[in-house]
Amino acid sequence: MSSARTRRAGVQIKAPTGIIGFDEITGGGLPRGRTTLLAGGPGSGKTIFALQFLVHGARYCKEPGIFVAFEETPKRIVTNFETFGWKLAALQKQKLFFLDAHPTPDLIQSGTFDLSGMLAAMGAKIKEMGTRRIVFDAMDIVLTLLPDQAAKRREIYRLHEWLLARDLTGVITAKAGGDQESSLDQQPFGFMQFMVDCAVILNHSVVQGVSQRNLRVQKYRGSSFDEHESPFLIGKNGFEVAGARTLGHSHTQVIHERVSSGVERLDTMLGGGYYRGASVLITGFPGTAKTTLSGAFAEAACLRGEPTMFVSFDSDFSEVIRNLASVGILLDRFVKSGLLRIVSVRTITGNAETYLLRIKTFAKEHVARCVAIDPVSTMSSSASEVVAHSVVERLIDWSKSEGITMLCTSLVDEMASRTVGMSSLQISTLADTWIHLNYLAQAGERNRGLSIIKSRGTAHSNQVRELILSDAGVTLADIYTAGGEVLMGTLRWEKESAERAANEVAEVAGKLKHVRLDAEEAELEMKVKALQTELVAKQTEKELLTRTSESRERELSRGRTRLRELRGADADLSRRKRVS
């Protein structure tokens, strides 16, 4: 052991497999310097997993590997995996060695044997190559040749000890029959499971006619791991594990920014729009304008200049554009400018897991900030309910961790569930905002109603609104309630015009009254003026009167005095009168 290696081992105790998802589940890969058992039925992907582990080590970790093929000839394996683009031929020169150990059909056996020969032969090769990783593919083939349980155990033990002594990261693959749980408990697998430090079980089953591949880490000594079954796929680059319930860390950031729903009044109802990074669920019966709302959302995102992806499970690319153009949502221009990517999933065959992975891959390629999926409920038809639910759960989890605002529509079967709130995928609890669309059949009409059932962290309107689609776009209209009944469509229109007429009448009447009052006011004012004039006249008259009488008095007394003066006698008379 060189000091460099010891130092690295101290830091890095896990050997990355390069398998998307698996390194996340296990928190870094397989236990370095230990042995991992990879068990699964035929065609469950054991060889791919094991080979990918080696290829990753050889290409990216400077860890040359040896692949011991007990089942197939190396030539066939190389041919089979050519399509994954792993550059096996180039790797084989130095970093990857295939050991053809498959027993020839004419092999004759007499008595017991052991694997010392192989281990000795490999010991030399390991020294020569500096091998760090080793895979024993289809160990069960050799084990079946061994005559008894004791011999099988002995050889497994020998192999294990040999690996440990050389500090090699080993993977042993072994077939476990169709009924994997029970056959795994059988000897010698049971023994192997106890012995190894890590055990991974691959399962390939068909649920309701849909192929499902699952992977489960059964044990992992000295490490925490996701112990649930994680679906996986064999994609074009190899093994991809879809288990994204990542351990320990979550990227979810709470953002207060709002993004428009594409419908102005809906934004108002939501108190400003959807939250950025939120997942929005729109449920509704067929034809309730779910796609239209998704389109409006996508258009609004494009108008903001954000890369957007529209995933349609229902329609083809061109159909989506045409149909949405009919309601004034013009997506064509954004597709041309490259801002919008429309993915028609009808072209992807497969199960819900495939859809999820494709959506993730496409969104990654497009660096999408907003994603609309229409409708997400399609997934339930291509997988069992449990799987579909888990897929949608992971879809939401993924969009949140990526900060992608996601809008999903979900079809509600009109026949199956009349009750509002029945979402076939039960994702309503996961969504941040849930908008329900339904029909109101009334007076020979069907009208679309929109209501916000929930919207976390936003004040939102409790009202049902009528959704109106026209060439000009999508609008929401207030609805009227009359006698406890909700009015929509023409009824609403009638009510509206009736109300308008009533308003007009009231307005005219008001004006009339105003005029009349004006007149009365004027009349009264005139009266007031006349009276005031009269008052002034009277006052003047009164003053005049007072003045006249005073002057007359004065004139009178002056006259008398003058008269007396003129008479003269009268003064003595008066004096006389006083004497007598």
Partner 1 sequence: MSRRAAFKFILFVAGDTENSALALGNLSAFCRTHLPNRHEIEVVDVIRQPKRAMKDGIFMTPTLVKAGPSPVRRIIGTLSEPHILLQVLGLGDLAA
What residue ranges bind partner 1 (CB under 8 A)? 99-101, 104, 106-118, 120-125, 142, 145
Q: What's the min distance (Å) between Cβ of 129 and partner 1? A: 12
Strands 169-175 and 133-137, by their bridges, are parallel
Q: C-beta of 118: minimal distance to partner 1 in Å?
A: 4
Distance between CA atoms of residues 173 and 248, nearest Å: 29
Name the pairing type of β-strands 258-259 and 30-31.
Answer: unpaired
CA–CA separation, 57 and 70 (whole Å) = 21
CB closer to partner 1 out of 78 and 101: 101
Q: Which is nearer to partner 1, 118 or 325 (CB)?
A: 118
Question: What's the distance, Cα to Cα, between the start and end of the chain in Å?
Answer: 173
Q: How far apart are CA 202 and CA 215, in angstroms?
A: 5
Shortest separation between residue 12's beta carbon and partner 1, angstroms: 30
Minimum Å distance from CB 123 to partner 1?
A: 6
Minimum gap (Å) between residue 109 Cβ and partner 1:
5
The first and second tokens of residue 540, run together, are 């003047």
In angstroms, the CA 396 to CA 415 distance is: 27
Q: Which is nearer to partner 1, 73 or 208 (CB)?
A: 73
Q: How far is the CB of 355 from partner 1 (least distance, A)?
A: 44
Closest Cα to residue 6, out of 29, 36, 32, 27? Answer: 32
Q: Is the CB of residue 49 less than 8 Å from the CB of residue 36?
A: no
Using a 10 angstrom Cβ sphere, with 0-12 exposed, 13-18 middle and 19 or more buried, the burial of residue 219 is middle
Min CB(147)–partner 1 separation in Å: 8
Element (H, E) at 258: strand 258-259
For partner 1, which is the closer residue by CB, 108 or 569? 108
The nearer residue to partner 1, 92 or 218, going by C-beta atoms, is 92
The Cα 302–Cα 310 span in angstroms is 11
Question: Which is nearer to partner 1, 123 or 473 (by Cβ)?
Answer: 123
Instruction: Tell the smallest beta-carbon distance from residue 94 to partner 1 (Å).
Output: 17
The nearer residue to partner 1, 76 or 333, going by C-beta atoms, is: 76
Angle (CA) 188 115 146, round 5°: 45
Q: Nearer to partner 1 by C-beta: 66 or 259?
A: 66
Backbone angles phi, psi at 279, to 5 degrees: -110, 130
Rounded CA-CA distance 331/341 in Å is 10
